[in-house]
Chains A and B, each alone.
Chain A
């Protein structure tokens, strides 16, 4: 590239290398990255954990820890920030480069008002002071779509919803009109419908302010929705760059191809017109494992009762998978908790193999629970760090006093084979395994006693796409082999579409629509289901543009 051309870039990297000195050998996080962001352009930096995408953005902000060694060039406008003095770097933040973080709650200071936090950057960079700064802050809030900004500016972060908080973080990022905004997983912590709104906002602001955006994400749907250019990173290397349509539709590198093929996709959905309902399949020989009737679940929070689930009924038969989908706060995980006996049932029946759980004595309940296996969301927290893997897997046998020591070890080895992990991990500890491997250990543990029912509470939402694909495939395979019933809780419609036979769509503790997956997810009747489906982005820029329009029309008619 010529030198004149580089003048046009808002942000550019040239042969950026980042190495971390650790107690062990040095870790090469970024191995020579060259990339450029033009004003008014969105470049998506895509990759799985450990790919070095976040390190790249932190290097541009000059926020790397002290044990990092950076070489190469990272230019904001015309200034190379690699090795720049801390004071000069500080002056550039907010005015030249700003950041939108993943977790809006932790990105805002909970003890300061929004006004204070928004005016801080303005005053620090001599943009505006006092009343003028407040006026500018109100203007910013109006720009990001916070209703009644003059009044709400005096409120604290906890008084806003998650989506609004992220809007405020964006308002802070654009407050000094930076040349480039780094958005590090800006929608990962948000629900799909909110995610669609935030992406819309970012797109609009970028056009209005002519700012370049470096979007860091692992979600291919978000990439298809937002990006003009895509850069794919793997293990610190840039494996593919190019136009969004070219990379997503005709990937050249093998890694990109495999990554895209492992993204679960919703099969064709008609969000426009409800199709005629097909009759449910004959239900004569279904052997019911789990049955809930008019289930009501409540949380008692120091006297005030909060009803999390209201009048939900469903059933799961042997060999079937029931998906429960919904956004945060819909009560989907609460149902899983109740089935596991971690939350008492307030009213209604919840029976496992014909035994109504709320009516059982603790001893009988223990016997019933022997037939339930469970997989949780967070692979980092779901194994006791002090137990070797073998003990983790065989713990259900120890609790229910099944088998001798040698039988237990044999069972653990069988299960490790089933989840395709080497047998010698039996003596390893959870911290030595990666997230996906730990989640496979959790699956093995859940299957130790050959359960009739498997509860999976968001089992893959903390995993990378390719790892998720592996775990889901494994779950499907095991379900075929062991023929258990499965209650699969997830926020990801595509995953449910891939795995489940029937589905319950939850909103605010109520079931808004339920039935076979092919009817509910492909020809939804309820408005909420349709909006949910329309908001979920697909990794295809052309199709996503169509869906975005559909979502906008749905939203405008609501």
Chain B
């Protein structure tokens, strides 16, 4: 809140009057919590850079090779083999000639070609697409499940809480990779579509958020506005979905981003092990798995998908960090210098 002490009349002699005068003078538009959060998020440099990178990767992945019925601007398909040119080396160059490079150039096969002459740019872009779709679907499914299950357990407590939390424990004690591999294999065998795989992954990754939301709701439900809502006769569903869940939105959104990053990595791991996306479809994990032997001879086949996985996972994580700081400015805000090894004398210690 801004300090309007100086602008106020000097003769006010009651706190109540002073507060009312301040309120009457408050000229600026009132901001909802949502708008304040967005404002803080937009000022978070790392998160904004990450968003730009993420948007760039997404737009590239979907526009280049096309998606569904929409054609892309890239003319080569990831399914067609061709003749291998120059050992399949990437033709992309970013170093201009005046710096001793080959000039800024896109070339015929910017990411190179694989051993049978498939265009690697098309392959990697298709794989990125799949990874992003899986990440988003898993994020949505697991966030929805986790939030609802956590909210119900936290609100009702008692035996409902016991049952739901024991189910959660059950999911947690089984190693995620094993569970996902078995379910993914079953899903892949029946339909072969990545959406099914994503749904299945969503069904096994909601547990962390459920616990977090439950904890949050357990403390929020003791707030007086919840008691007030109950006392005025609100239905339980209204209390949960209007009063409780919106106030946990910080936890939910932040964890959704981390869930997306986690899902992309999980899919990569599964595909690498051969339990995830099956050829001839492509995904980033699958590409790494297929070309791991080429690491020494044709390293680009390994580097491109690897770098993109890292780029996506990192930027989604930074995005999550930015969101967390925006929702809860107490955690960071303007980072204050901590008294440590390199701490300089602060203003307070000056005479």
Using a CB–CB cutoff of 8 Å, the interface residues on chain A facing chain B are 22-28, 48-50, 64, 66-70, 82-83, 85-86, 234-236, 253-255, 258-259, 262, 340-342, 365-366, 369-370, 372, 374, 376-378, 381-386, 388, 395-396, 399-400, 420-422, 425, 427-429, 431-434, 436-437, 442, 445, 455, 464, 466-467, 469-470
Give the chain B neighbours of A366 by CB distance below 8 A: 233
How big is the B interface, by class? 35 or more
| A28→B19 contact, CB < 8 A | no
Option from B2, B232, B333 in Cβ contact (under 8 Å) with A374: B232
CB–CB B23/A425 < 8 A: yes
Contact assessment for B2 and A66 in the assembled complex, using a CB-CB cutoff below 8 Å: no
- Do A341 and B230 touch (CB < 8 A)? yes
Choose from B14, B19, B336, B347 the contact partner of A437 (Cβ within 8 Å). B19
Determine whether the beta carbon of B16 is less than 8 Å from that of A432.
Answer: no
The reply to whether B348 and A70 form a contact with Cβ atoms under 8 Å apart is: yes
A24 touches which of B2, B13, B230 (Cβ 8 Å): B2
Q: A384-B247, A434-B19, A467-B15 are in contact. Are A378 and B231 (CB under 8 A)?
A: no
How distant is the Cα of A259 from the Cα of B235 in the complex, in angstroms? 43
Say whether B24 contacts A49, CB under 8 Å.
Answer: no
Stretch at the interface among B29-37, B44-52, B95-103, B170-178: B29-37
B5 touches A258 (CB 8 A): no
What is the CA–CA distance of A262 and B246 in the complex, to the nearest angstrom?
Answer: 39
Interchain nearest-CB distance for A475 vs B (Å): 14
Whether A399 contacts B334 by the Cβ 8 Å rule is no
Q: Tell me the residues in window 317-351 of chain B with beta carbons closer than 8 Å to chain A beta carbons.
A: 333-334, 336-337, 346-351
B86 within 8 A of A: no
Assess whether A66 is in contact with B336, with CB atoms less than 8 Å apart: yes
Pair A86/B33 contact, Cβ less than 8 Å: no
Residues from chain B with a CB closer than 8 A to the CB of A25 are 2-3
Q: Is the CB of A422 within 8 A of B232?
A: no
CB neighbours of A395 from chain B (8 A): 229, 232, 234
| Distance in Å: Cβ of A121 to nearest Cβ of chain B | 22
B238 to A399, Cβ gap below 8 A?
Answer: yes
Asked whether, in the complex, the Cβ of A66 is within 8 Å of the Cβ of B238, the reply is: no
**Could you tell me if B24 and A436 are in contact, using CB atoms closer than 8 angstroms?**
no
Contact B5 A382 (CB under 8 A): no
Q: Are B5 and A236 in contact (CB under 8 A)?
A: yes
Count of A-B residue pairs with CB < 8 Å: 147
Contacts of B1 in A (CB 8 A): 24, 432
Question: What is B's interface to A at a CB cutoff of 8 Å?
Answer: 1-3, 5-6, 13-16, 18-20, 22-24, 26, 30-34, 223-225, 227-235, 238, 242-243, 246-247, 333-334, 336-337, 346-351
B250 to chain A minimum Cβ distance, whole angstroms, is: 11
From A422, A431, A467, B19 is in contact (CB under 8 Å) with A467
Cβ contacts under 8 Å, A374 to chain B: 227-228, 231-232
B228 touching A470 by the CB < 8 A rule? no
Min CB gap A44→B, angstroms? 18
B29 to chain A, nearest CB (A): 9
Question: For the complex, what is the distance from the CA of A424 to the CA of B197, rounded to whole Å?
Answer: 52
Which residue on B lies nearest to A465, using beta carbons?
A: B15
Residue in A closest to B338 when the chains form the complex, CB atoms: A66
**Which of A64, A376, A431, A432 contacts B228, CB < 8 Å?**
A376
Give every chain B residue within 8 A of A86 (Cβ-Cβ). 349
Judging by beta carbons under 8 Å apart, are A466 and B15 in contact?
yes
Cross-chain contact B348 with A66 (CB below 8 angstroms):
yes
Minimum CB–CB distance from B336 to chain A (whole Å) comes to: 6
A396 to B337, CA, bound (A): 47
Q: Which residue of A lies closest to B244 (CB)?
A: A384
- A48 near B15 (CB under 8 angstroms)? yes
Interface residue from B18, B32, B232, B347 paired with A388 (Cβ < 8 Å): B32
A residues less than 8 Å from B31 (CB atoms): 429
Query: Contact between A400 and B30 (Cβ–Cβ < 8 Å)?
Result: no
Complexed CA–CA distance, A386 and B332 (Å) = 22
Pick the residue among B3, B30, B223, B349 that contacts A429 (CB under 8 A): B30
Is there an interface contact between B233 and A254, defined as CB atoms closer than 8 Å? Answer: no
CB neighbours (8 Å) of A85 from chain B are 349
12 sample A-B contacts, Cβ–Cβ < 8 Å, listed by A number: A28-B6, A83-B348, A341-B230, A374-B231, A381-B224, A381-B225, A382-B225, A384-B225, A395-B229, A399-B233, A429-B31, A434-B19
Contacts of B32 in A (CB 8 A): 386, 388, 429
